[in-house]
Amino acid sequence: MLEIDNLSVRYGRHQALDGVSAKIEKGEICVILGANGAGKSSLLKAIAGTVRAEPGSRIVMNGVSLVGSRYISEEGETILATFFSDGKYMLSEDAEEDDTGESGAEYGTYAWDPVTGVLTTETLSDTNGEWGLSHPHGT
């Protein structure tokens, strides 16, 4: 199930979404209709985490609050990093298998200590072997 509550997205001074709420049950088919510039793409991008939702926005998938997803690009490679509020993370390369053998995914747990600023992780599954939190800086 996907729950969206009070979702707002802003691009500079332009308010693309303002307080959008929806609940979509598992197996339900949902259609998003609207005129050009109504915020359809911004809604989907906010759910995917590729644009930042405003503070107070809430997106929950299958009971887990999505903390955020971000695309990270470096040296021609793009990785999608998603961090969930239950302390789990997932990394995946946004590309087809390449000749370096670096495509794949990584899944694990994380903890952030706001006092010390230290992020600790434990990798539970790693199908890429070359990049990710289990291999900082490609080591």
DSSP string, 33-57: ---TTSSHHHHHHHHHTSSPBPTT-
Q: Tell me, what's the pLDDT at 12?
A: 85
At 139, is the pLDDT very low, low, confident or very high (cuts 50, 70, 90)?
Answer: very low
Please tell me which residue, 56 or 30, carries the higher pLDDT value. Answer: 30
Write down the pLDDT at residue 114.
65
* Residue 43: how many other CB atoms lie within 10 Å: 20
Residue 132 exposed, middle or buried by CB count within 10 Å (0-12, 13-18, 19+) = buried
What average pLDDT does the segment 102-121 reach?
78
Share of the chain above pLDDT 90, in %: 25
- The pLDDT, as a whole number, for residue 30 is 92
At 92 the pLDDT is 80
Q: Identify which of 65, 62, 81, 64 has the alpha carbon closest to the alpha carbon of residue 73.
A: 81
Q: What is the pLDDT of residues 59-93, one digit of tens each?
A: 888 887 776 666 666 666 677 777 776 778 888 87
C-alpha closest to that of 70 among 55, 88, 89: 89
Cα–Cα distance measured from residue 105 to residue 124, given in angstroms and rounded to the nearest whole number: 11
Distance from C-alpha of 84 to C-alpha of 72, rounded to nearest angstrom: 17
N-to-C CA span, the chain: 38
pLDDT tens, position by position, 84-102: 767 788 888 755 545 555 5
d(CA 36, CA 29): 22
Least confident of 1-5, 81-85, 109-113, 129-133: 129-133
